[in-house]
């Protein structure tokens, strides 16, 4: 099994690009983004809550109104009884004074139970009449009230249906008297098999909707108060979350500007952030502490080595060795996987990186990334990307979640406007499933056991570091026994000869098709040899990075597949 990560020794030190404190001009901070999100959610939830509250309160209030209507109708029946209505129906005569007294009596009932009108209705010869009906006080005073047996020529269908089937009903309607919600309660004389008269009671719709509107205003006011309290609490929480991150970013920036050397004050501050901050910030702080320790030890080792081998070594070579020291020195060995990885920088300091790491005893993390630009700035951005990847790779199970985490942190404080393309995959060595996310990177190849080439087409989002808040997708593919996966940077396909012609995807695919090599290392070496042969005397134009994986399904997985 080939298992290598060649790294050329060199020395180099350089000052990182100067960065000022603060955020990008016009770039919203994490705190403002959280507040904007919560404000939007609060507005939406307040509107929805008001609509729901209005619906249920309207339903409950109308139910209460209907009970009042029924109580008014039944109360009128108790006041007059069957004998009185029977006299009316059979044509008994009343003096005007008696009519006024009876109408005043039922009007008093309507006033006491907050009803607009209450009256007894009868049906005769297909027409409907108010045998008796309440009237407002001013009509009683002016004598303009409706007399006994006033025809009701605008009878709603609900009244007609109540006389027909004897069922109590509550409806909203409009007639010459106004807009009402009315209740109709049927009554029968003893021994009768039909509805003889109906007591109706009305409440004005202006009263109903006035009450509901006041209820809606109270609900909206309560929602606004809750939203303001929620925003205040969110502001406190956002400050608690973003404060340590901003402090950590400033501390890391100052450490980078001081050649990755921590004095006691900065180290104590960094350790305090790691102890007291939330999980993700603590992971980054701890990872940076570990990285700084490794860098410091590695610098000491390099200085000792250079003293023994040669008295003077270039600062660029030291930086190259520091950068390459961040990449895996040993690749993990999982059953069924033959893995090879190699990076060849175009300069002493490059912007390509790869990662091959075992997440557990069956899952393998595979990453190839390419930072924009070349030289020192690309190398610094590559180091930050690798640090973030090391800090977070164990915290996410899905590739798109890990890529989104990297993008959020690389976009913050990125005043140099650098970015990195990345192909990140998690490979299950038991099932052969490859879950991957492509953030603006070259699509990898799968060479099947039978020699057929497939491309993992599709990009799931833009390159990392350009803009925060981006959403990324993921996809999956299956590797069978004997299949080979090739991840690469554009330094392969964009390698140039002396005529500035490109090596191209077509030459890479032809190389993979005619390659007779079986294992991952031989396949990658064959590709590199073809690129160098194509370049000839031309200088290397860009960093070249290759990660190859040849999969041999474990015996147990093969047996399970056969049984299935």
pLDDT reported for residue 488: 96
Q: Is residue 510 part of a domain?
A: yes
E strand map for 400-537 = 420-428, 433-439, 445-447, 453-455, 475-478, 484-488
Q: Is residue 302 part of a domain?
A: no
Q: Is residue 229 part of a domain?
A: no
Q: pLDDT (tens digit, 9 = 90+) per residue, 198-238? A: 888 888 888 888 888 888 788 778 878 887 887 787 777 77
Q: pLDDT (tens digit, 9 = 90+) per residue, 5-60? A: 444 333 334 444 444 444 444 566 666 777 778 778 878 887 887 778 777 877 88
Q: How many CB atoms lie within 10 A of CB 419?
A: 23
- CATH, residue 369: 3.60.40.10
Q: Which residues are CB-contacts of 130 (< 8 A; sequence separation ≥ 6)?
A: 119, 120, 121, 146, 148, 149, 150, 151, 152
Tell whether 336 and 472 lie within a shared domain. yes
Size (the chain), residues: 564
pLDDT reported for residue 330: 87
Quick check: 382 and 352 in contact, CB under 8 A?
yes
Q: pLDDT (tens digit, 9 = 90+) per residue, 49-79? A: 777 877 787 788 888 888 888 888 888 888 7
Structural domain span for residue 403: 329-563
Tell whether 389 and 523 lie within a shared domain. yes
Tell whether 206 and 342 lie within a shared domain. no
Q: Which residue has the higher pLDDT, 231 or 461?
A: 461
- CATH, residue 76: 3.30.450.20
**Coil, helix or strand at residue 364:** strand
Instruction: Tell me the two tokens of residue 54.
Output: 């209005």
Instruction: Tell me the two tokens of residue 371.
Output: 């930072």
Q: pLDDT (tens digit, 9 = 90+) per residue, 97-134? A: 888 888 888 888 888 888 888 888 888 888 888 888 88
Residue in the structure block whose two tokens are 């299956």: 478
Q: Which residue has the higher pLDDT, 521 or 300?
A: 521
DSSP state of 156: -
How far apart (Å, rounded) are the C-alpha atoms in residues 254 and 271? 15
How far apart (Å, rounded) are the C-alpha atoms in residues 143 and 31? 72
pLDDT reported for residue 439: 95
**Coil, helix or strand at residue 203:** strand
Q: Is residue 240 part of a domain?
A: no
Q: pLDDT (tens digit, 9 = 90+) per residue, 366-379? A: 999 999 877 778 88
pLDDT reported for residue 319: 60
Instruction: Tell me the two tokens of residue 227.
Output: 């939203």
Mean of all residue pLDDT scores within the chain: 80
- Going by pLDDT thresholds of 50, 70 and 90, the confidence category of residue 296 is low
Q: Give the count of domains, the chain.
A: 2
Quick check: 366 and 549 in contact, CB under 8 A?
yes
Of 211, 244, 273, the residue at which a domain comes to its end is: 211
pLDDT reported for residue 401: 95
Q: pLDDT (tens digit, 9 = 90+) per residue, 424-455? A: 999 999 999 999 999 999 999 999 988 899 99
Q: pLDDT (tens digit, 9 = 90+) per residue, 237-282? A: 776 666 666 667 677 677 666 666 666 776 777 767 666 556 666 6
Q: Is residue 509 part of a domain?
A: yes
Q: Which residues are CB-contacts of 439 (< 8 A; sequence separation ≥ 6)?
A: 403, 407, 421, 422, 423, 424, 459, 460, 461, 462, 463, 464, 472
Q: Is residue 384 part of a domain?
A: yes
Of 184, 211, 238, the residue at which a domain comes to its end is: 211
pLDDT reported for residue 255: 66
Q: Is residue 220 part of a domain?
A: no
Q: How many CB atoms lie within 10 A of CB 448?
A: 13
Of 156, 185, 211, the residue at which a domain comes to its end is: 211
Tell whether 340 and 485 lie within a shared domain. yes
Question: Among the listed ranges 301-310, 342-351, 397-406, which one has the minimum average pLDDT value?
Answer: 301-310
Residue 290 has pLDDT above 50, yes or no: yes
pLDDT reported for residue 314: 56
Instruction: Tell me the two tokens of residue 213.
Output: 């509107």
- Going by pLDDT thresholds of 50, 70 and 90, the confidence category of residue 348 is low
Instruction: Tell me the two tokens of residue 463.
Output: 């390159």
Q: Is residue 352 part of a domain?
A: yes
pLDDT reported for residue 20: 44
pLDDT reported for residue 399: 95
HEC string of 301-346 equals HHHHHHHHHCCCCCHHHHHHHHHHHCCCCCCCCCCCEEEEEEEECC
| Cα 208 from chain centroid (whole Å) | 41
């Amino acid at each position: 099994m080939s298992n290598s990560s060649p790294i050329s020794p060199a020395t180099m030190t350089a000052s990182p690009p100067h960065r000022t404190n603060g955020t990008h001009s016009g770039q919203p901070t994490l705190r403002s983004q959280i507040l904007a999100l919560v404000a939007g959610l609060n507005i939406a939830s307040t509107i929805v809550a008001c609509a729901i509250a209005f619906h249920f309160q309207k339903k409950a209030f109308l139910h209460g109104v209907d009970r009042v209507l029924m109580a008014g109708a039944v109360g009128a029946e108790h006041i007059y009884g069957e004998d009185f209505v029977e006299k009316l129906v059979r044509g008994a005569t009343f003096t005007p004074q008696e009519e006024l007294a009876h109408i005043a009596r039922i009007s008093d009932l309507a006033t006491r139970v907050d009803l607009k009108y209450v009256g007894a209705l009868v049906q005769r010869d297909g027409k409907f009449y108010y045998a008796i009906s309440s009237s407002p006080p001013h009509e009683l005073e002016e004598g303009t009230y409706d007399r006994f047996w006033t025809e009701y020529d605008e009878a709603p269908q609900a009244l007609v249906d109540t006389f027909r089937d004897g069922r109590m009903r509550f409806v909203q309607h409009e007639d010459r008297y106004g807009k009402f919600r009315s209740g109709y309660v049927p009554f029968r004389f003893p021994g009768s098999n039909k509805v003889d008269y109906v007591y109706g009671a009305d409440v004005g719709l202006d009263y109903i909707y006035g009450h509901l509107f006041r209820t809606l205003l109270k609900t909206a006011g309560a929602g606004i108060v809750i939203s303001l309290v929620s925003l205040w609490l969110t502001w406190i929480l956002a400050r608690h979350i973003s404060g340590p991150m901003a402090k950590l970013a400033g501390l890391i920036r100052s450490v980078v500007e001081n050649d990755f050397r921590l004095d006691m004050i900065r180290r104590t501050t960094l350790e305090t952030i790691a102890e007291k901050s939330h999980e993700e910030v603590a992971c980054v702080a701890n990872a940076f502490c570990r990285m700084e320790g490794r860098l410091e030890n590695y610098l000491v080792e390099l200085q000792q080595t250079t003293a023994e081998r040669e008295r003077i070594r270039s600062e660029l070579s030291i930086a190259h060795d520091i950068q390459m020291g961040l990449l895996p020195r040993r690749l993990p060995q999982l059953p069924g996987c033959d893995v090879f990885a190699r990076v060849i920088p175009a300069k002493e300091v490059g912007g390509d990186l790869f990662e091959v790491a075992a997440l557990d005893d069956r899952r393998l993390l595979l990453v190839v990334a390419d930072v924009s630009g070349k030289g020192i700035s690309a190398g610094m951005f590559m180091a930050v990307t690798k640090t973030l990847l090391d800090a977070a790779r164990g915290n996410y199970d899905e590739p798109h979640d890990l890529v989104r985490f990297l993008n959020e942190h690389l976009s913050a404080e990125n005043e140099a406007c650098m970015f990195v393309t990345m192909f990140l995959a998690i490979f299950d060595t038991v099932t052969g499933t490859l879950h991957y996310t492509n953030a603006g990177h070259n699509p990898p190849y799968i060479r099947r056991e039978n020699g057929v080439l497939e491309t993992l087409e599709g990009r799931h989002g833009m390159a990392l570091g350009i803009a925060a808040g981006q959403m990324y997708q993921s996809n999956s593919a299956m590797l069978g026994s004997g299949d080979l996966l090739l991840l690469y940077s554009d330094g392969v396909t964009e390698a140039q000869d002396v005529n500035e012609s490109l090596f191209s995807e077509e030459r890479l695919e032809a190389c993979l098709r005619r390659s007779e090599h079986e294992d991952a290392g031989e396949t990658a070496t064959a590709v590199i040899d073809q690129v160098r042969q194509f370049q000839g005397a031309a200088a290397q134009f860009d960093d070249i990075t290759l990660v190859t994986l040849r999969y041999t399904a474990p015996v147990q997985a093969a047996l399970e597949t056969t049984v299935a």
